[in-house]
Amino acid sequence: MVEFDAFGPEKIIEVYNPKVGMKGYAILDNMALGPAKGGIRMTPTVSMDEVAKLARTMTWKNALAGLPFGGGKSGIIANPKEFSPEKKKEIIEAFAKALKIICPNLYVAAPDINTAEQEMEWFAKANGNKKSCTGKPKKMGGIPHELGSTGFGVTHATFVALKHMKKNVKGATFAVEGFGNVGTFAAKFMTEAGAKLVAVSDSQGCIFLERGMDYEKLMKIKEETGSVINYPGTAGSCHNIIGVKADILITAAIPDLIRPGDVDKVKAKLIVEGSNIPMTEQVEIMLHKKNILVVPDFVANAGGVISSYVEYIGGDEKRMFKLVEEKIKKNTDLVLSSAKKNKIHPRAAAMEIAQKRVLSKCDVCAVKF
């Protein structure tokens, strides 16, 4: 059941098209800073409660990133594996037409689970407005996430955190959990800056090499064999990445990676959350007490939504990389400085900053600061 609080959600829209069998939701959590922004998730189990929680996450992510967007999310209840691409197109188009009442003035869509560039093209055309969504193909003015905007931002969050720790990126050792879009680019940009990649994992397992890995060779092996575990080194289970000996651990895949029972296994002194919810706030606090610095997900991995904003305003790839670097560096520094000054853990500091930004513009919120 959706929980309402002092911030929202402001609007909940449930849509249904019996002719094509489309059923879904759009939740506009808080629009104090601008139109609600968030992706379209298409799964057979997506619920209104799930969409509401994701929309709230987007409220804080957009606020912390300093973007003129509120938080939103939408979901379509469907299993695309069970029907043809033509049927999927029909459902996406029906959803886009149903959301004309809010897109793009109140809600700007984007890709999420089981939706990507093709689906955004269908959505924009059926909606009748290119600004109704981001994540469109390049031919429609889109900025592909395959350029590595999220991983690029995660890297700059890492640079700022290392500076706060008075450590140099050159020679620093790091591990990357997950070798998809975020993990590959984080590894690329970190190694280019002089850091040494000593461990990496994917869905098949984890590989460790104390002397460091060659990024180009690793990418080639991943592409040719399908897994990083075929790189020469010491192999282990996926979960082993948590306890590897490295200065930095970058999470870039699954949620709930680090659980309370794993805290004592962590050897890294810096964890940068490139993935969403790789641990609970409780675990972050436990790590904080052990003097392990954790850069929260909605601070570190905002490169994707910043890239979406640049697409939304008609910017190009060059402007995207420039803005991602500027905003991620500025906000990571702000969060870590605030955490140190107020003697609180980074997530608490980030939430305080995000909430103040929302409240400063909010006419419907039930609390003030």
Q: Exactly one of 23, 37, 61, 73 is catalytic; name it.
A: 73
Q: What is the β-pairing status of strands 40-43 and 234-236?
A: unpaired
Q: What are phi and psi of 125, to 5 degrees?
A: -70, -40
Q: What are phi and psi of 70, to 5 degrees?
A: -90, -170
**Whether the Cβ atoms of residue 302 and residue 65 lie closer than 8 Å to each other:** yes
Task: Based on the residue annotation, tell me whether 87 is a catalytic residue of this protein.
Answer: no
The residues annotated with a catalytic role in the active site are 73
